Structure 1
Amino acid sequence: MTKTTKRSARRAGTGAAVAAEWTKLTGSARDRRAAAAAVGLALAVAAVFCLTLEPTTGVPLADQPAFDVLTASLLGADAAALVLTVLAAAAVGGEYATGMIRTTFTVTPDRGRVLLARAVTVAAAAGAVALVAAVGAALVSLLVLSGAGLPVWDAADPAVWRAVAGAALMAPFHALVATAGALWTRSTAGGVVAALALLVAPTLAGWIPGGSLLLPVLPGEALHSLAGIAGPDGPHPAAAALVLVAWSALVLFAADRAVRRQDV
């Protein structure tokens, strides 16, 4: 077999693995309902945060900058991300619990290829749902402001869509971490804990003397930077992107090593 033929075979094998993982991830009516529920939760949370800005901040809604109302509404996308993270972990944990993982590895013996296919499909599916949730949450803030007769944010402002896109990035990243964690531990709980550990890492760093020095290399601060809400002391967007890529590569590498050692 020539090198060209081998490369074509590998591409075909990877494509088939991605298609199989996509079918498993999106083929269940229950999972589709859960994804829809994540979007619905995002809209509800966005409305709650927008409507309670005055009592929580002490500043009347009329005095709130429209962009601040938008960023408050995007917390709805964060809520959706938590649901999608649990779903990502459950997809892997469920395969281990039922023994379906053995079938997966029998059909595709190259476990690295299985991991790559799962990572691609999880990131794509979570990203798509999160983007819908983030746009929906932004529209909620638009409705709240216009309903109150107040000026709305400028849809032509790049900062608006940067914030929306940044909010949508949280779900695919943490879903990827949850997938890797579930593969390490062979359980849904392990995946959820891994994702939550990175989620709360900035808070924990704040409790440690000198822990603030760790913030620029933590994914939470990187996500805020890419969304344009990290503040003047936040990392540069290019550096933030590298941080997310590095963390993604790290967790996937660790998952790859763990999967190859498993006796399933």
Structure 2
Amino acid sequence: MSLVTLAIPFFLISVLVELALDRWRGWGLYRLNDAIGSLSAGVLSRITGLVRTGLLLVIYIPLYQLLQPYYETVGFNWSLDNGWHLLLAVVAYDFCYYWKHRIAHEINIFWADHLVHHQSEDYNLTTALRQPSGGLPIGWIFYMPLLLIGLPAELLITAGAIDLIYQFWVHTQKFPKVRWMEWIFVTPQTTAYTTPRTRSMWTATTAVSLSSGTACSAATRKNWKTSPASTACASR
């Protein structure tokens, strides 16, 4: 069973807690129809995700085996049981995801697949579950560079799951600001002032967004449905 599947109960409990607080405190973060739409998209994405993951592995594993002599020569010897290896794998995966996500906001063929994530009228934890299930399954091409460092398929899948699970919690508006975290990780607060195309897991990508002029004010959330390529902050 994958890590993402194991995390589903945590996702649902978190949504219910945020919903209960929303009703109790009158935040106005949730509407029933929008939340159901996000959850439905999430269920469908888990089903079609099997095809996407399968396609990635069908392409990745033969190429990995083909490059095995190169890995032996260089001395690459990754292990899923090594915590440092797993950490490096997540960083490497997240770097590839950064470019996948950014290009998804800049090139129409990728945006056509990704835009479903931005179609919600609300911004809450169910929005994190609104993942794409249609479009061309071509996102795998962004992870091919991981072959250059000899990352095994099992580490690729595990790192991808960790990266995806982490992104869940940043889709809330009610987590308190923790400044020290923003120097290491992306948080709900940094998501507020960084355009969606620059959001990733690590602060390295936040620094890129700030230095390249793609960081915006918290008003970015008002443009949640719009590709940053068409917003003023993206054109600075």
Normalised to the residue count of structure 1, the TM-score between the two structures is 0.32
With normalisation by structure 2, the TM-score equals 0.34
More helix by share: 1
Larger Rg over CA atoms:
1
